Amino acid sequence: MSQAGGGNGNGNGNGNGGNGGNGGNSNSVTGSASSTTSSKPSITLIPNSLPAGGLTITQPPQTAVSYFKIAPSQAITFAWTMTSVIATPTHLTVSAVCDNGNTYAVGPTDGIIPGTATGVVWDIYSYQQNNPNRPLAQATYTLHVWDDRGPGSARKAGYLQENNQLKFAMYTPQPYTPISSGWSCAACNGASSFTAHPAFISLIVTFFLIFFSGFQLLRTAGRGRD
């Protein structure tokens, strides 16, 4: 009887130990599966059949070249809308390329703005004051906007395509100069020179000769009738 009891005790002990081992194995697999699942990155697949994203400038209008004065309180506001952009850019770069070949960063943050931005304000007068070694020229500029892939990137479905369709111009206003300080009217001087031109004088003389000749003929004809 004592041996049978001992046998049962051993059997139960082994069985419980086995169950405990199985329980431990089950927990370790679950933990491993959880850590593997949480480490997988989220990837958005964009079909190649979709169009590339686009950017349309809404301000200033693209129908004509806008002229902006480099003066206090004369900041330029650029605004746009995006279409078909699925892969939101982390940032946008905005720059102005001058006809003289120089490139200028647009905006208050060296041309780098958030990828979801729909516009930027550029204080050109402040830029001019803070960059005497690289001043803005009185010329025509082309606005460039591209995403974090960089300028000139190839078209890609769902990604923003670089925009360089807007042209604008900047100028520096001339200070007022009174006549007493030597101001002269270039158009007026041009008119004076035109009046004194020999061809113009010859035309006037010819006109008077024709007029008086015709008048003399009419006068002679009138005497003949009398």
Residue closest to 57 by CA, chosen among 74, 84, 77: 77
Interval 13-58: pLDDT, tens? 444 444 444 444 433 333 333 333 444 444 568 999 999 999 999 9
Q: Find residue 145's DSSP bridge partners.
A: 94, 163
pLDDT of 147 reads: 96
Residue closest to 138 by CA, chosen among 83, 105, 98, 97: 98
Indicate whether 226 pLDDT > 60.
no
Considering the domain boundaries, does residue 224 fall inside one?
no
- Looking at the fold, whether 154 and 91 belong to one and the same domain comes out as yes
Provide the domain limits for residue 66.
Answer: 54-171
- Looking at the fold, whether 5 and 70 belong to one and the same domain comes out as no
Alpha helices by DSSP H, listed for 39-65, are none
- Looking at the fold, whether 26 and 60 belong to one and the same domain comes out as no
Interval 103-125: pLDDT, tens? 999 999 899 999 999 999 999 99
CATH number of the domain within which 94 lies: 2.60.40.10
